[in-house]
Structure 1
Amino acid sequence: MDLLRKSIERVTPLTNEEWKLIVEKSKRIQLKKGEFLQTQHSFVVYECFVLTGSFKTYIMGENGTETVIFFTFGNEWICDLNAFYHKKQASYNIRALEDSELVVVTKPAKDVLFSKIPKLVNFHIHMIEKANIVLQQRVLDLMNKTSKERYVDFIEKNSGRLQKVNNKNLSSYLGISQEFLSKIKREGEVYNEKAR
């Protein structure tokens, strides 16, 4: 839980009493690889902080095709914002890519935390701003960057996490076929060999 406290205190300092209330109103859960945190169209939605492990957030099309929207790793937040804050059906599936541990909070519990620790609203605003920036950048990247540029960006931002994401999920995230992803990887290996 220290990771969670550090994440909050990067924005908003907490007293020990405030931290104790946060711990009381949240819950630690463990998921095995392949288990769902939430499923598309369900009403079971949490705001979550990933302690360990990794997740993919994706939608399942009517034809059975997965489209990966985000990956979330340890020390990061994950939430279906519209479903969580507006009591809507979940827009996404969120599934563990490996055995994972999270801290989750429900909307009623978060409302209590906001009323008893008003300064958490500042942290909330920071989280929403960060989520919007990530989402906007994702849209801009899809519209303006080539597949290869998106792949290079992903590698640069997630160099220590690549082994957690298989080719199927990565190609879906990049919006390309697995064959084209393999080609991009091969070209990168050839380039790296020549650079040595």
Structure 2
Amino acid sequence: MDKLRKHIEAIIAISDEEFEFVKPFFTYKRVKKHQYLTQEGDTVTFEYLILSGVFRMFYLDNDGKEYIVQFAGENWWMADYQAYFKDKKATLNIVCMEDAEVLCLTLHGRETLSVESHKMEHFFRVKLTNGYVALQRRIISLLSSSPQQRYEEFGRLYPHLMQRIPKKYIAEYLGVSRETLSRLYSNSKV
């Protein structure tokens, strides 16, 4: 739980007493490589704080083509938020790319923490806002940047993920072929 406290205190200061109130809302889980946290059609009970490991969130179209929505590493939050917040079935898949550890938080737990602790409500608002900003940046990049620019931006924003994620998934995330990714790598300033 030390990682949780450090994660929270990167945004807000909390006392020992306040942290003792927060801790019981989180459950610890080990996740093996290739194990799913969420699959399309699932009921989404938790959002996850990644303590260690890397995850891939993706959508499968009707032809089975995979579209990577997000990668998540340490200190990132991840869930199919449409399903989590709106009580709908999952449309996204979340799979573990290397052995990992996560903390799980139910929506009821999140709401209770937010109601009972102004500091935690502020924490969740900041995290959600940062996630929304990152998603907008990704959409704008996909719409307006060249593959080379997207590759270099990914390398600048997530250098810690470049060596941990197989190139085929980075290519999918960037919307390019594996061969194009090889050319981008050789032309890169990253």
TM-score bucket of the superposed structures, by smaller chain = over 0.9
Is the CA contact 2:59–2:93 (under 8 Å) kept in the aligned structure 1?
Answer: yes
Deviation, 1:146, is 0.4
1:145-156 to 2 correspondences below 5 Å = 145-156=145-156
Partner of 1:91: 91
Tell me: CA distance 1:118–1:32, structure 2 relative to 1, closer, same or farther (3 Å): same
Partner of 1:116: 116
2:148 aligned partner, one-letter code: K
Partner of 1:23: 23
2:52 aligned partner, one-letter code: T
Query: After TM superposition, which residue ranges in structure 1, 4 or more long, deviate above 3 angstroms?
Result: none
Is the CA contact 2:32–2:96 (under 8 Å) kept in the aligned structure 1?
Answer: yes
Deviation, 1:145, is 0.4
In structure 2, C-alpha distance between the alignment counterparts of 1:114 and 1:83, rounded to whole Å: 19
Tell me: CA distance 1:108–1:140, structure 2 relative to 1, closer, same or farther (3 Å): same
Offset from partner CA, 1:70-101 (integer Å, 9 cap, x none):
11011222122222111111231111110000
**CA RMSD of the aligned region, Å?**
1.6
Offset from partner CA, 1:125-178 (integer Å, 9 cap, x none):
111211110111011000110011100111112223212111211111000111
In structure 2, C-alpha distance between the alignment counterparts of 1:91 and 1:20, rounded to whole Å: 35
User: Which structure has the bigger radius of gyration?
Assistant: 1
1:130 aligned partner, one-letter code: N
Is the CA contact 2:113–2:121 (under 8 Å) kept in the aligned structure 1?
Answer: no
Deviation, 1:25, is 1.3
Deviation, 1:56, is 0.7
Tell me: CA distance 1:124–1:47, structure 2 relative to 1, closer, same or farther (3 Å): same
1:1-196 to 2 correspondences below 5 Å = 1-188=1-188
TM-score (norm 2): 0.93
Is the CA contact 1:47–1:84 (under 8 Å) kept in the aligned structure 2?
Answer: yes
Is the CA contact 1:45–1:80 (under 8 Å) kept in the aligned structure 2?
Answer: no
SS in 1 for 2:95: strand
Tell me: CA distance 1:16–1:182, structure 2 relative to 1, closer, same or farther (3 Å): same
Instruction: Please say which of residues 14-23 and 131-140 is displaced more in the overlay.
Output: 14-23
Deviation, 1:69, is 1.1
In structure 2, C-alpha distance between the alignment counterparts of 1:83 and 1:134, rounded to whole Å: 20
Is the CA contact 2:115–2:121 (under 8 Å) kept in the aligned structure 1?
Answer: no
User: How much identity, in percent, do the aligned residues show?
Assistant: 27
In structure 2, C-alpha distance between the alignment counterparts of 1:48 and 1:132, rounded to whole Å: 16
Is the CA contact 1:45–1:90 (under 8 Å) kept in the aligned structure 2?
Answer: no
Is the CA contact 1:38–1:45 (under 8 Å) kept in the aligned structure 2?
Answer: no
